[in-house]
Structure 1
Amino acid sequence: MNYPIPARQRETLLEIKKSKFHARAGFVDSREAAMALLEEARTCYPDARHHCWAYVLGNPAMPSSAAMSDDGEPSGTAGKPILNVLQHKDVGDVMVIVSRYFGGIKLGAGGLVRAYSGAAQQVMESLEIKTQIALTTVSIDADFKHEQYLRHWAEQQNGQVIGCDYAQHVKITLALPHSALAELEALSGSLGLNVHDA
């Protein structure tokens, strides 16, 4: 299933009563990738008091995972508002980190919720998105003469060549969008290919 994902990282700044909220949004497809992005934010803003965050992994319609952190802010005033914004944006494999510099004026719980929501909303609105295309992996046994053609064909279908093994035939492993599978079946008949799930 195809779904929107961040095309590249974005960063915005929201200032409320002298507190600065640096919001960063980016693509993450695992908890490890999310923690690496968090580390990047901490390195960029080493003296920020809080680095609050939330992420949604997988298809936003049915995420495989979601998580959040208030990072020392009062419970429920930072991570949850950021996650709420993400859950209403229909973007998958996304993380938002808000690094806060305290400006000396307390915002109160309601003010913090509005500030973190606002910072997340602002960065998500500026985020460029692209479509994540779900790919299926297949292996094809073919004559050597068909290898270049198959590589070229896969590229035209927005697929990828994952691997190639050479024996009596060439065994080429491709990751292809679902839309290309019917055409591959037709090709296998005309070229005499042996196609099977990888």
Structure 2
Amino acid sequence: MTFTPYLVPAASVVWEQEIKKSRFITYLAHTPDADAAKVFIEQIRAEYPDARHHCSAFVAGAPNDSQALGFSDDGEPTGTAGKPMLAVLQGAGIGEITAVVVRYFGGIKLGTGGLVRAYGSSVNGALAELSTTEKIIEGRLALSADYSDMAQLENLFTQSGAHWEQLDYGVMVSGVLRVDIRLLNSLAQQIKDRTQGRVIARPLTD
């Protein structure tokens, strides 16, 4: 699992160009996982049922996660569409992103080199319009505390940017905190120190 924050799309983008009478309509969207990527690809296919090709590429996780990649030439010659599209996405260093390029054939063949350039430049053009936001990778801490310790703990949580995923008020206050994973171990230690060892925060791995 990556600990480093990475950029993800903040909003969807549509960008279009024409090359030798062929229309290339490019869609970019935030897709947090492979299932979301496949749903998005099918949505664009359904929106343009009369197009000859709906080529796609996705990075369905962190930018450097080689297990989260996919692409399709969708009828174009092998290696001329999906692969160059994926190469552009990977070069941008953006995660959780899917690109779909819809092509309406204009009657003039572009050749394999022309197709590679057309699909790559289509994704590049759309990326130039894309706004991004930073995704913080969070870890989780489980803890239980006396009510008397909560005031100083809540101050600590606010300072570290931690927030409750789950919170229960019973005989004790118990719950699960989410925090930037890079701060996980230091926050657990600070919780222990601030309460003289009365509260032990346990990292969750599931």
TM tier, smaller: 0.7 to 0.9
1:105 is displaced (CA, Å) by 2.0
1:156 is displaced (CA, Å) by 5.8
SS in 2 for 1:175: strand
Residue 189 (1) aligns with residue 193 (2): yes
Selected match of 1:177 from 163, 176, 180: 180
Selected match of 2:63 from 60, 63, 73: 60
1:10 is displaced (CA, Å) by 1.2
Q: Is the 8 A contact 2:54 2:100 kept in 1?
A: yes
SS in 2 for 1:95: strand
**Aligned position for 2:140:** 137
Letter in 2 for 1:195: A
Q: Distance in 2 between matches of 1:197 and 1:141?
A: 13
1:86 is displaced (CA, Å) by 1.3
1:127 is displaced (CA, Å) by 1.2
Q: Distance in 2 between matches of 1:27 and 1:55?
A: 10
Selected match of 1:116 from 110, 114, 119: 119
Q: Distance in 2 between matches of 1:74 and 1:128?
A: 31
**Aligned position for 1:12:** 15
Identity %: 35
Letter in 2 for 1:50: H
Q: Is the 8 A contact 2:6 2:136 kept in 1?
A: yes
**Structure 1 residues 40, 163: closer, same or farther in 2, change over 3 A?**
same
TM-score by length of 2: 0.84
**Aligned position for 1:104:** 107
Q: Is the 8 A contact 1:135 1:159 kept in 2?
A: no
Moved more, 159-168 or 141-150: 141-150
Q: Which deviations, in whole Å up to 9, do the C-alpha atoms of 1:140-187 show, x marking residues without a partner?
A: 212246668766764664444221234421211112103543245324
Q: Which runs of no fewer than 5 residues in structure 2 stay unpaired? A: none
1:62 is displaced (CA, Å) by 4.0
**Aligned position for 1:71:** 74
Residue 162 (1) aligns with residue 165 (2): yes
Letter in 1 for 2:40: L
**Structure 1 residues 35, 160: closer, same or farther in 2, change over 3 A?**
farther
Letter in 1 for 2:63: P
SS in 2 for 1:120: helix
TM-score by length of 1: 0.87
Q: Distance in 2 between matches of 1:20 and 1:149?
A: 61
Q: Distance in 1 between matches of 2:138 and 2:51?
A: 40
